[in-house]
């Protein structure tokens, strides 16, 4: 163990997707292995930013946050080390030292395992140090881990992405897609179940193509089927790509006892012209056909999606086709994004002249439509008794438990007098649903 860092405090701030959340758990695992103790952003000796490059807003926020740390008093140890990792670290590398003069360490998505030695060197020598590589020497899944909680675990099954959607930075910052071995994933889920974890989320940018690089053909359906024998109570997975969602996978999804009836299937647009320009490799009709098949085999399924508004060249007619598809799809949830130009991607070179106000107006219209279908999706749960995994208490009121239903709705439950949140955290309880709201359900413990 490195003695110079022992007893120092750390704080990890995470931006972006579940992949980063998972990587942050590895970072925390490594820092605690060095004998460091969790602190807070203002006073910690070591502050690590795990960054996201997917949209400009995340970039800007990050730069603001790191720069503003200059105004804070020095921590108790006398010295503050700021480290920046994740997707912006991978994208910008040492150039970040020019942009942020209070930054001490830069690392990328493939060099997480170097963080302890980088921090040590920066702390002892006051030098600015970095480690960057195009491909991981050690898959981050082999590193120590400290999970956000004891009842849920992220389980990466593929890393990177080979789809090159024309707007997206992810393939450039996460590298080529590669899968973890089937037996290794199953063994990890078995181990997690034996440790008391209730729910796992299988992670990948396109989980449907899981195994193609290792076994010559995708093995995602088999992986889903294998989950039933691991002892885990609940399985979720994200993200699915419509071009690779096979009949075999839909069947496995339908027949599994542990896989929850929620499918996240990003559509991005309802216009074939725009889908082609995005390099998504499917049509709106294909998307609707696939979700039709899912609903036929899993009638209770809740569908969620990602939609980009204002992709270069999107016309009013293209946007109306997106609205039309969203109406037909009846999404329970949609992550809606205004297109953000990312340097180095093919879309960054496309003509992008739709006025900002027009895009904002389209965006607002879409959000309104999604609110309607989200409410309709929750409404059908009223009167039912659902199994809810309790995750904690409401941020605003600690006498209200919050949890997740099988269809992935947030559920709020009033605590009985004399009981505490700790009595329930991580447990799956039965809840009678009394009231549906757009973004949550209200119910009582049975
Ligand atoms: N691999 C996942 C998939 O294809 O479903 C998506 C992962 S990406 C990190 C999450 C979402 O961010 C995408 O589905 C897309 O809607 C959105 N996104 C990616 N690049 C974007 C950009 N340049 N502007 C706006 N939204 C973007
Ligand atoms: Fe980005 Fe497309 Fe890969 Fe998803 S599938 S991460 S949107 S390139
Ligand atoms: Fe962002 Fe990187 Fe995820 S760019 S969305 S943190 S893969």
One DSSP character per residue, 18-64 reads HHHHHHHHHHHHHHHHTT-EE--TTT-SEEEEEE--SSHHHHHHHHH
Show the CA angle centred on residue 166, arms to residues 374 and 89, nearest 5°: 90
Does the pLDDT value for residue 1 go beyond 70?
A: no
Q: State the pairing for strand pair 178-179/158-159.
A: antiparallel
Find out whether the beta carbon of 238 lies less than 6 Å from any atom of ligand 2: no
Strand, helix or coil for residue 289: helix
Sign of CA dihedral 329, 332, 338, 344: negative
Determine whether 417 is exposed, middle or buried from the number of CB atoms within 10 Å of its CB (0-12, 13-18, 19+). Answer: exposed
Q: Give residue 173 CA to ligand 2 midpoint distance, Å.
A: 11
Pocket test for ligand 2, best of 54, 168, 282 (most atoms within 8 A of CB): 168
**For the chain, what is the mean pLDDT?**
95
Q: Give residue 338 CA to ligand 2 midpoint distance, Å.
A: 16
Q: Which of 151, 208, 160, 167 is nearest to 388 (CA)?
A: 151
DSSP conformation letters of 214-246: HHSS--HHHHHHHHTTTT-SEEEEE-B-GGG--
Pocket test for ligand 1, best of 18, 90, 161, 266 (most atoms within 8 A of CB): 266
Name the one residue in this structure whose structure tokens are 């009842």: 151
Q: Give residue 168 CA to ligand 1 midpoint distance, Å.
A: 6
Which pLDDT does position 144 carry in this prediction?
86
Does the pLDDT value for residue 430 go beyond 80?
A: yes
Predicted confidence band at 148 (pLDDT cuts at 50, 70, 90)? confident
* Cα–Cα distance measured from residue 147 to residue 32, given in angstroms and rounded to the nearest whole number: 12
Identify any residues that bridge with 444 across adjacent strands, giving them in sequence order: 432
Pocket test for ligand 2, best of 156, 177, 206, 308 (most atoms within 8 A of CB): 206
Q: Which of 190, 192, 188, 251 is nearest to 225 (CA)?
A: 251
Which residue owns the Cα nearest ligand 1 atom 10?
A: 306
* Cα–Cα distance measured from residue 291 to residue 172, given in angstroms and rounded to the nearest whole number: 30
Say which DSSP state 265 is in.
B
Sign of CA dihedral 341, 342, 347, 350: positive
Q: Which residues, including other chains, have CB under 8 Å from residue 348's CB and lie 6 or more apart?
A: 341, 342
Q: Give residue 305 CA to ligand 3 midpoint distance, Å.
A: 17
Which pLDDT does position 137 carry in this prediction?
63
Q: Averaged over 235-243, what is the pLDDT? A: 97
Which residue owns the Cα nearest ligand 1 atom 5?
A: 266
Which pLDDT does position 418 carry in this prediction?
87
By the 8 A CB rule, do 425 and 392 touch?
yes
Does the pLDDT value for residue 139 go beyond 80?
A: no
Which pLDDT does position 426 carry in this prediction?
97
Q: Which residues, including other chains, have CB under 8 Å from residue 338's CB and lie 6 or more apart?
A: 308, 309, 310, 359, 360, 363
Which pLDDT does position 138 carry in this prediction?
62
Condensed to tens digits (0 to 9), the pLDDT of residues 9-31 reads 999 999 999 999 999 999 999 99
Find out whether the beta carbon of 386 lies less than 6 Å from any atom of ligand 3: no
Condensed to tens digits (0 to 9), the pLDDT of residues 377-387 reads 999 999 999 99
Q: Which of 234, 238, 158 is nearest to 189 (CA)?
A: 234
Predicted confidence band at 3 (pLDDT cuts at 50, 70, 90)? low
Predicted TM-score of the model (pTM): 0.96
Rounded (10°) angle between helices 115-125 and 18-33: 60
Find out whether the beta carbon of 18 lies less than 6 Å from any atom of ligand 2: no
Q: Averaged over 194-208, what is the pLDDT? A: 97
Long-range contacts of 22-25 (CB under 8 A, 24+ apart): 22/140, 22/154, 22/156, 22/203, 23/50, 23/85, 23/86, 23/109, 23/112, 23/140, 24/48, 24/50, 25/145, 25/146, 25/147, 25/148, 25/154
Q: Give residue 241 CA to ligand 2 midpoint distance, Å.
A: 9
By the 8 A CB rule, do 392 and 415 touch?
no
Pocket test for ligand 3, best of 86, 159, 177, 239 (most atoms within 8 A of CB): 86
* Cα–Cα distance measured from residue 402 to residue 151, given in angstroms and rounded to the nearest whole number: 14
Predicted confidence band at 140 (pLDDT cuts at 50, 70, 90)? low
Instruction: Write the CA distances from 51 to 27, 60, 400, integer angstroms.
Output: 13, 11, 32
Q: Which residues, including other chains, have CB under 8 Å from residue 417's CB and lie 6 or more apart?
A: none
Name the one residue in this structure whose structure tokens are 């910690």: 44
Nearest atom in ligand 3 to 20's CA: 6
By the 8 A CB rule, do 131 and 107 touch?
yes
Condensed to tens digits (0 to 9), the pLDDT of residues 89-102 reads 999 999 999 999 99
Find out whether the beta carbon of 16 lies less than 6 Å from any atom of ligand 3: yes
Q: Averaged over 127-148, what is the pLDDT? A: 83
Lining residues, ligand 1, CB within 6 Å: 17, 54-55, 167-168, 170, 205-206, 239, 241, 266, 268, 306, 308, 337, 339-340, 342
């Amino acid at each position: 163990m490195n003695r110079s860092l022992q007893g120092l405090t750390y704080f990890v701030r995470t931006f972006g997707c579940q992949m980063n959340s998972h990587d942050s758990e590895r970072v925390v695992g490594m820092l605690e292995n060095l004998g460091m103790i969790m602190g807070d952003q203002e006073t910690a000796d070591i502050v690590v930013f795990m960054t996201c490059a997917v949209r400009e807003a995340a970039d800007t926020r990050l730069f603001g946050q790191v720069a503003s740390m200059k105004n804070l008093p020095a921590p108790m140890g006398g010295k503050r080390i700021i480290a920046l990792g994740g997707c912006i670290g991978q994208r910008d590398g040492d150039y970040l030292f020019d942009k942020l003069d209070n930054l001490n360490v830069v690392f990328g998505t493939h060099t997480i395992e170097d963080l302890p030695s980088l921090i040590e060197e920066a702390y002892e020598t006051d030098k600015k140090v970095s480690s960057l590589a195009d491909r991981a020497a050690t898959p981050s899944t082999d590193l120590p881990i400290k999970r956000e909680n004891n009842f849920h675990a992220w389980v990466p099954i593929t890393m990177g992405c080979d789809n090159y959607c024309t707007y997206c930075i992810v393939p450039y910052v996460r590298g080529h897609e590669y899968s973890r071995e089937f037996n290794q994933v199953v063994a990890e889920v078995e181990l997690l179940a034996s440790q008391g974890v209730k729910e796992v989320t299988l992670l990948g940018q396109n989980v449907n193509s899981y195994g193609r690089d290792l076994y010559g053909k995708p093995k995602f359906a088999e992986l889903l089927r294998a989950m039933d024998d691991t002892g885990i109570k609940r399985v979720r997975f994200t993200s699915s790509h419509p071009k690779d969602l096979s009949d075999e996978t839909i069947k496995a999804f339908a027949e599994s006892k542990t896989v929850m009836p929620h499918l996240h299937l990003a559509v991005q647009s309802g216009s074939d012209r725009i889908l082609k320009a995005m390099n998504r490799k499917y049509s709106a009709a294909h998307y609707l056909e696939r979700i039709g098949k899912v609903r036929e085999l899993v009638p209770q399924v809740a569908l969620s999606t990602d939609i980009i508004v204002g992709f270069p060249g999107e016309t009013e007619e293209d946007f109306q086709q997106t609205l039309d598809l969203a109406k037909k799809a009846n999404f329970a949830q949609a992550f809606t994004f205004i297109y953000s130009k990312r340097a180095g991607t093919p879309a960054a070179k496309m003509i992008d002249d739709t006025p900002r106000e027009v895009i904002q107006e389209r965006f607002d219209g879409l959000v309104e439509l999604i609110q309607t279908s989200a409410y309709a999706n929750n409404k059908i749960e009223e009167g039912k008794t659902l199994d809810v995994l309790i995750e904690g208490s409401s941020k605003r009121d600690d006498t209200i438990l919050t949890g997740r239903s099988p269809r992935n709705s947030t559920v709020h439950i009033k605590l009985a007098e004399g009981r505490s949140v700790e009595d329930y955290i991580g447990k799956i309880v039965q809840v009678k649903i009394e009231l549906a709201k757009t973004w949550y359900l209200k119910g009582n413990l049975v």
